[in-house]
Structure 1
Amino acid sequence: MPISQYLKTLRAKIGRDLVMLPAACVAIIDDQGRLLMGKEAETGLWMLPGGALDPNESPADAAIRECFEETGLLIEITGMIGVFGGPEFLVRYPNGDECYYISTAFRGTVINKSGVSGDGELSEIGYFSEAEFEKLATSPQTKLIVRTAFTNSNVPFFQPPTYSAVNLENIVPQTIKDLG
Protein backbone atom coordinates (compact mmCIF):
# COMPACT_ATOMS: atom_id res chain seq x y z
CA MET A 1 0.00 0.00 0.00
CA PRO A 2 1.33 3.49 -0.73
CA ILE A 3 2.27 5.73 2.16
CA SER A 4 -0.57 7.28 4.11
CA GLN A 5 -1.81 10.78 3.38
CA TYR A 6 -0.47 11.83 6.79
CA LEU A 7 3.06 10.65 5.97
CA LYS A 8 2.84 12.06 2.45
CA THR A 9 2.01 15.50 3.91
CA LEU A 10 4.81 15.20 6.46
CA ARG A 11 7.33 14.17 3.79
CA ALA A 12 6.32 17.19 1.67
CA LYS A 13 7.44 19.39 4.58
CA ILE A 14 10.60 17.61 5.75
CA GLY A 15 11.78 15.69 2.71
CA ARG A 16 13.57 12.39 3.26
CA ASP A 17 14.83 13.24 6.78
CA LEU A 18 14.36 10.84 9.67
CA VAL A 19 10.80 10.43 10.94
CA MET A 20 9.84 8.48 14.05
CA LEU A 21 6.70 6.44 13.50
CA PRO A 22 4.61 4.26 15.78
CA ALA A 23 3.82 0.92 14.17
CA ALA A 24 1.95 -2.27 15.01
CA CYS A 25 2.08 -5.85 13.80
CA VAL A 26 0.38 -9.12 14.61
CA ALA A 27 1.67 -12.66 14.99
CA ILE A 28 -0.94 -15.25 14.09
CA ILE A 29 0.02 -18.79 15.04
CA ASP A 30 -2.14 -21.61 13.71
CA ASP A 31 -3.12 -24.80 15.56
CA GLN A 32 0.04 -26.50 14.24
CA GLY A 33 2.29 -23.87 15.83
CA ARG A 34 3.13 -22.17 12.53
CA LEU A 35 3.31 -18.40 12.15
CA LEU A 36 1.61 -16.39 9.38
CA MET A 37 4.15 -14.40 7.36
CA GLY A 38 3.85 -12.30 4.23
CA LYS A 39 6.45 -11.72 1.52
CA GLU A 40 6.79 -8.00 0.87
CA ALA A 41 6.27 -7.41 -2.86
CA GLU A 42 8.83 -4.57 -3.10
CA THR A 43 11.75 -6.06 -1.16
CA GLY A 44 11.11 -9.80 -1.23
CA LEU A 45 11.59 -9.93 2.55
CA TRP A 46 9.17 -11.89 4.72
CA MET A 47 7.38 -9.95 7.45
CA LEU A 48 4.50 -10.01 9.88
CA PRO A 49 1.31 -8.25 8.81
CA GLY A 50 1.56 -4.70 10.13
CA GLY A 51 2.49 -1.13 9.48
CA ALA A 52 2.40 2.46 10.70
CA LEU A 53 -0.43 3.81 12.80
CA ASP A 54 -2.74 6.42 11.34
CA PRO A 55 -3.34 9.59 13.40
CA ASN A 56 -5.74 8.92 16.32
CA GLU A 57 -5.51 5.13 15.81
CA SER A 58 -4.65 2.73 18.63
CA PRO A 59 -1.88 0.18 18.07
CA ALA A 60 -4.35 -2.73 18.37
CA ASP A 61 -6.69 -1.17 15.80
CA ALA A 62 -3.74 -0.56 13.47
CA ALA A 63 -2.66 -4.20 13.73
CA ILE A 64 -6.18 -5.40 12.86
CA ARG A 65 -6.51 -2.90 9.98
CA GLU A 66 -3.07 -3.63 8.53
CA CYS A 67 -3.63 -7.38 8.69
CA PHE A 68 -6.93 -7.02 6.85
CA GLU A 69 -5.46 -4.66 4.23
CA GLU A 70 -2.46 -6.89 3.57
CA THR A 71 -4.01 -10.37 3.82
CA GLY A 72 -7.80 -10.02 3.64
CA LEU A 73 -8.03 -11.84 6.99
CA LEU A 74 -10.30 -10.63 9.77
CA ILE A 75 -8.58 -11.13 13.10
CA GLU A 76 -8.95 -10.41 16.76
CA ILE A 77 -6.15 -9.45 19.11
CA THR A 78 -5.54 -12.05 21.83
CA GLY A 79 -2.49 -10.67 23.60
CA MET A 80 0.62 -8.58 23.48
CA ILE A 81 4.08 -9.77 22.50
CA GLY A 82 5.82 -6.53 23.41
CA VAL A 83 7.05 -3.10 22.42
CA PHE A 84 10.11 -3.02 20.19
CA GLY A 85 12.63 -0.37 19.22
CA GLY A 86 16.37 0.03 18.94
CA PRO A 87 18.91 0.23 16.14
CA GLU A 88 17.25 -2.60 14.17
CA PHE A 89 14.19 -0.40 13.71
CA LEU A 90 15.94 2.36 11.76
CA VAL A 91 14.96 1.83 8.12
CA ARG A 92 16.42 3.55 5.08
CA TYR A 93 14.17 3.01 2.09
CA PRO A 94 15.50 2.76 -1.49
CA ASN A 95 14.04 6.21 -2.29
CA GLY A 96 16.10 7.76 0.54
CA ASP A 97 13.34 8.12 3.14
CA GLU A 98 14.47 7.37 6.70
CA CYS A 99 12.10 6.09 9.37
CA TYR A 100 12.60 4.88 12.90
CA TYR A 101 9.78 2.62 14.04
CA ILE A 102 8.58 1.90 17.56
CA SER A 103 6.54 -1.23 17.04
CA THR A 104 3.89 -2.75 19.26
CA ALA A 105 3.55 -6.45 18.47
CA PHE A 106 0.39 -8.40 19.25
CA ARG A 107 -0.79 -11.97 19.13
CA GLY A 108 -3.92 -12.58 17.14
CA THR A 109 -6.22 -15.21 15.76
CA VAL A 110 -8.12 -15.42 12.49
CA ILE A 111 -11.87 -15.12 12.99
CA ASN A 112 -12.89 -14.99 9.33
CA LYS A 113 -11.50 -14.94 5.83
CA SER A 114 -13.10 -11.94 4.19
CA GLY A 115 -12.86 -13.16 0.62
CA VAL A 116 -11.12 -9.87 -0.18
CA SER A 117 -7.58 -10.17 -1.45
CA GLY A 118 -4.82 -8.08 0.08
CA ASP A 119 -3.77 -4.64 -1.10
CA GLY A 120 -0.77 -5.89 -3.07
CA GLU A 121 1.85 -5.02 -0.46
CA LEU A 122 2.46 -8.75 0.03
CA SER A 123 3.15 -10.97 -2.97
CA GLU A 124 2.37 -14.13 -1.01
CA ILE A 125 1.44 -15.28 2.47
CA GLY A 126 1.98 -18.56 4.26
CA TYR A 127 2.39 -20.27 7.59
CA PHE A 128 5.88 -21.28 8.73
CA SER A 129 7.29 -23.32 11.59
CA GLU A 130 10.03 -21.81 13.72
CA ALA A 131 12.66 -23.83 11.81
CA GLU A 132 11.20 -22.77 8.45
CA PHE A 133 11.12 -19.12 9.59
CA GLU A 134 14.85 -19.17 10.33
CA LYS A 135 15.51 -19.95 6.65
CA LEU A 136 13.41 -17.02 5.34
CA ALA A 137 14.89 -13.71 4.22
CA THR A 138 13.70 -11.18 6.82
CA SER A 139 14.72 -7.83 8.24
CA PRO A 140 16.51 -7.61 11.61
CA GLN A 141 13.37 -6.13 13.22
CA THR A 142 11.21 -8.99 11.95
CA LYS A 143 13.71 -11.54 13.31
CA LEU A 144 13.58 -9.96 16.76
CA ILE A 145 9.78 -9.79 16.93
CA VAL A 146 9.18 -13.28 15.47
CA ARG A 147 11.75 -14.97 17.71
CA THR A 148 10.03 -13.33 20.66
CA ALA A 149 6.62 -14.43 19.38
CA PHE A 150 7.78 -18.05 19.17
CA THR A 151 8.74 -18.00 22.87
CA ASN A 152 5.00 -17.83 23.71
CA SER A 153 5.80 -15.82 26.83
CA ASN A 154 2.91 -14.25 28.70
CA VAL A 155 5.20 -11.43 29.80
CA PRO A 156 5.38 -8.60 27.22
CA PHE A 157 8.86 -7.98 25.84
CA PHE A 158 10.62 -4.65 26.12
CA GLN A 159 14.23 -3.72 25.55
CA PRO A 160 15.92 -3.37 28.96
CA PRO A 161 16.89 0.23 29.69
CA THR A 162 20.49 1.29 29.33
CA TYR A 163 20.03 4.27 31.65
CA SER A 164 20.02 4.13 35.41
CA ALA A 165 19.91 6.80 38.10
CA VAL A 166 23.71 6.50 38.39
CA ASN A 167 24.59 7.11 34.74
CA LEU A 168 21.80 9.65 34.22
CA GLU A 169 23.57 11.96 36.69
CA ASN A 170 26.43 12.19 34.20
CA ILE A 171 24.08 12.93 31.29
CA VAL A 172 21.68 15.43 32.83
CA PRO A 173 23.18 16.45 36.21
CA GLN A 174 21.26 19.71 36.56
CA THR A 175 17.90 18.04 35.89
CA ILE A 176 18.60 15.39 38.56
CA LYS A 177 19.65 18.08 41.07
CA ASP A 178 16.50 20.10 40.29
CA LEU A 179 14.35 17.06 41.07
CA GLY A 180 16.06 16.41 44.42
Structure 2
Amino acid sequence: MSRRDYEDDPNAPAANSLVPAASAVVVDDSGRILLQRRRDNGMWALPGGAMHIGESLPECAMRETREETGFDIEIVGIVGTYSNPRHVFAYDDGEVRQVFSICFLARPAGGQLSVSEESTDVRWFEPEEIDTLPMVPSIRKRVNDWRDGNMPAAR
Protein backbone atom coordinates (compact mmCIF):
# COMPACT_ATOMS: atom_id res chain seq x y z
CA MET A 1 0.00 0.00 0.00
CA SER A 2 1.37 3.42 -0.86
CA ARG A 3 0.91 6.62 1.07
CA ARG A 4 1.18 10.31 0.38
CA ASP A 5 2.33 12.80 2.99
CA TYR A 6 0.67 16.20 3.27
CA GLU A 7 2.02 18.87 5.59
CA ASP A 8 0.54 22.36 5.79
CA ASP A 9 -1.07 21.71 2.38
CA PRO A 10 -4.48 23.41 1.87
CA ASN A 11 -5.37 20.65 -0.64
CA ALA A 12 -4.79 17.82 1.85
CA PRO A 13 -7.72 15.52 2.50
CA ALA A 14 -9.36 15.70 5.92
CA ALA A 15 -8.08 13.26 8.53
CA ASN A 16 -10.37 10.34 9.37
CA SER A 17 -8.13 8.51 11.86
CA LEU A 18 -5.62 9.17 14.61
CA VAL A 19 -3.17 6.40 15.50
CA PRO A 20 -0.45 6.65 18.17
CA ALA A 21 2.96 5.96 16.67
CA ALA A 22 6.63 5.92 17.65
CA SER A 23 9.92 6.33 15.83
CA ALA A 24 13.55 6.17 16.86
CA VAL A 25 16.70 8.14 16.16
CA VAL A 26 19.18 5.27 16.55
CA VAL A 27 22.75 6.50 16.99
CA ASP A 28 25.78 4.20 17.15
CA ASP A 29 29.00 4.74 19.12
CA SER A 30 30.52 6.54 16.10
CA GLY A 31 27.68 9.09 16.01
CA ARG A 32 26.09 7.67 12.86
CA ILE A 33 22.30 7.54 12.49
CA LEU A 34 20.29 4.54 11.25
CA LEU A 35 17.85 5.21 8.40
CA GLN A 36 15.66 3.09 6.18
CA ARG A 37 14.42 3.78 2.65
CA ARG A 38 10.66 3.29 2.76
CA ARG A 39 9.07 1.02 0.18
CA ASP A 40 5.77 2.98 0.15
CA ASN A 41 7.19 6.40 -0.80
CA GLY A 42 10.87 5.84 -1.66
CA MET A 43 12.02 8.35 0.96
CA TRP A 44 14.62 7.90 3.70
CA ALA A 45 13.09 7.74 7.16
CA LEU A 46 13.58 6.82 10.76
CA PRO A 47 12.35 3.38 11.77
CA GLY A 48 8.90 3.64 13.29
CA GLY A 49 5.22 3.00 12.94
CA ALA A 50 1.86 2.52 14.59
CA MET A 51 1.50 1.32 18.16
CA HIS A 52 -0.28 -2.00 18.71
CA ILE A 53 -2.82 -2.66 21.44
CA GLY A 54 -1.02 -4.08 24.45
CA GLU A 55 2.31 -2.32 23.93
CA SER A 56 3.78 0.94 25.20
CA LEU A 57 5.18 3.65 22.92
CA PRO A 58 8.80 2.69 23.77
CA GLU A 59 7.95 -0.96 23.01
CA CYS A 60 6.44 0.20 19.71
CA ALA A 61 9.67 2.01 18.78
CA MET A 62 11.75 -1.06 19.70
CA ARG A 63 9.49 -3.46 17.74
CA GLU A 64 9.32 -1.23 14.66
CA THR A 65 13.10 -0.72 14.65
CA ARG A 66 13.71 -4.47 14.90
CA GLU A 67 11.14 -5.22 12.15
CA GLU A 68 12.33 -2.51 9.75
CA THR A 69 16.11 -2.53 10.27
CA GLY A 70 17.12 -5.80 11.97
CA PHE A 71 18.43 -4.02 15.07
CA ASP A 72 17.40 -4.32 18.70
CA ILE A 73 17.64 -0.98 20.47
CA GLU A 74 17.87 0.52 23.92
CA ILE A 75 15.82 3.67 24.46
CA VAL A 76 17.96 6.38 26.09
CA GLY A 77 15.83 9.52 25.70
CA ILE A 78 13.11 11.38 23.83
CA VAL A 79 13.80 13.53 20.77
CA GLY A 80 10.30 15.02 20.77
CA THR A 81 6.55 14.76 20.41
CA TYR A 82 5.12 15.38 16.94
CA SER A 83 1.40 16.06 16.57
CA ASN A 84 0.82 18.66 13.85
CA PRO A 85 -2.91 18.43 12.97
CA ARG A 86 -2.03 19.88 9.54
CA HIS A 87 0.15 16.86 8.77
CA VAL A 88 -1.66 13.80 7.43
CA PHE A 89 -0.81 10.57 5.61
CA ALA A 90 -3.27 9.53 2.89
CA TYR A 91 -3.30 5.79 2.14
CA ASP A 92 -4.63 3.96 -0.91
CA ASP A 93 -7.40 2.35 1.16
CA GLY A 94 -8.96 5.75 1.98
CA GLU A 95 -7.50 6.17 5.45
CA VAL A 96 -6.20 9.69 6.09
CA ARG A 97 -4.19 9.57 9.30
CA GLN A 98 -3.38 12.60 11.44
CA VAL A 99 0.16 12.38 12.79
CA PHE A 100 0.73 11.72 16.50
CA SER A 101 4.18 10.34 17.19
CA ILE A 102 6.77 10.23 19.93
CA CYS A 103 10.34 10.08 18.61
CA PHE A 104 12.79 8.35 20.93
CA LEU A 105 16.57 8.49 21.06
CA ALA A 106 18.11 5.03 21.07
CA ARG A 107 21.33 3.12 20.64
CA PRO A 108 21.81 -0.28 19.00
CA ALA A 109 21.78 -3.23 21.38
CA GLY A 110 22.28 -6.11 18.94
CA GLY A 111 21.21 -7.43 15.58
CA GLN A 112 22.41 -6.65 12.07
CA LEU A 113 21.26 -4.59 9.11
CA SER A 114 18.39 -6.12 7.18
CA VAL A 115 15.60 -4.82 4.97
CA SER A 116 11.95 -5.69 5.52
CA GLU A 117 8.64 -5.68 3.66
CA GLU A 118 8.50 -1.96 4.48
CA SER A 119 12.03 -0.97 3.44
CA THR A 120 14.22 -1.30 0.35
CA ASP A 121 17.48 -0.21 1.99
CA VAL A 122 18.82 0.25 5.52
CA ARG A 123 22.06 2.12 6.24
CA TRP A 124 24.09 4.03 8.80
CA PHE A 125 24.78 7.66 7.86
CA GLU A 126 27.13 10.32 9.14
CA PRO A 127 24.98 13.28 10.30
CA GLU A 128 26.28 15.55 7.52
CA GLU A 129 25.29 13.00 4.82
CA ILE A 130 21.60 13.36 5.66
CA ASP A 131 21.08 16.78 4.06
CA THR A 132 21.12 15.40 0.50
CA LEU A 133 18.81 12.44 1.15
CA PRO A 134 15.20 12.52 -0.07
CA MET A 135 13.14 12.76 3.13
CA VAL A 136 9.68 14.07 4.00
CA PRO A 137 9.78 17.33 6.00
CA SER A 138 8.38 15.83 9.21
CA ILE A 139 11.12 13.18 9.37
CA ARG A 140 13.79 15.74 8.50
CA LYS A 141 12.51 17.87 11.41
CA ARG A 142 12.97 14.96 13.83
CA VAL A 143 16.46 14.24 12.53
CA ASN A 144 17.36 17.94 12.72
CA ASP A 145 15.95 18.22 16.24
CA TRP A 146 18.42 15.51 17.25
CA ARG A 147 21.31 16.75 15.11
CA ASP A 148 20.95 20.40 16.08
CA GLY A 149 21.47 19.50 19.71
CA ASN A 150 17.93 19.92 20.94
CA MET A 151 18.59 16.83 23.03
CA PRO A 152 21.59 14.81 24.26
CA ALA A 153 23.47 12.39 22.02
CA ALA A 154 23.42 8.66 22.82
CA ARG A 155 26.47 7.36 24.62
Alignment RMSD: 2.4
Cα shift at 1:96 = 3.5
Gaps of at least 5 residues in structure 2 are 2-13
d(CA) in 2 for partners of 1:87, 1:100: 6
Instruction: Work out which structure has the larger RCO, using CA pairs closer than 8 Å and 6 or more positions apart in sequence.
Output: 2
Partner of 2:57: 59
Partner of 2:37: 39
Give the conservation status (yes or no) of the 8 Å contact 1:54–1:62.
yes
Gaps of at least 5 residues in structure 1 are 2-15, 156-180
Cα shift at 1:88 = 5.8
What are the within-5 Å matches in structure 2 for residues 21-32 of structure 1?
Answer: 21-32=19-30
d(CA) in 2 for partners of 1:114, 1:29: 14
Instruction: Give the ranges of 4+ consecutive aligned residues of structure 1 lying more than 6 Å apart after TM superposition.
Output: none
Quick check: which one's helix share is greater?
1
Give the conservation status (yes or no) of the 8 Å contact 1:51–1:62.
yes
Cα shift at 1:29 = 1.4
Give the conservation status (yes or no) of the 8 Å contact 1:88–1:141.
no
Cα shift at 1:131 = 2.5
Partner of 1:102: 100
Instruction: Indicate how the Cα distance of structure 1 residues 88 and 17 shifts in structure 2: closer, same or farther if over 3 A, else same.
Output: closer
What is the TM-score when the length of structure 2 is the normalising length? 0.80
Quick check: which one's strand share is greater?
2
Give the conservation status (yes or no) of the 8 Å contact 1:24–1:59.
yes
Answering whether residue 146 of structure 2 is matched by residue 146 of structure 1, we say no
Cα shift at 1:54 = 0.7
Secondary structure of 1:70's counterpart equals: helix
Residues matched between the structures, number: 141
Cα shift at 1:130 = 2.7
Instruction: Indicate how the Cα distance of structure 1 residues 27 and 88 shifts in structure 2: closer, same or farther if over 3 A, else same.
Output: farther
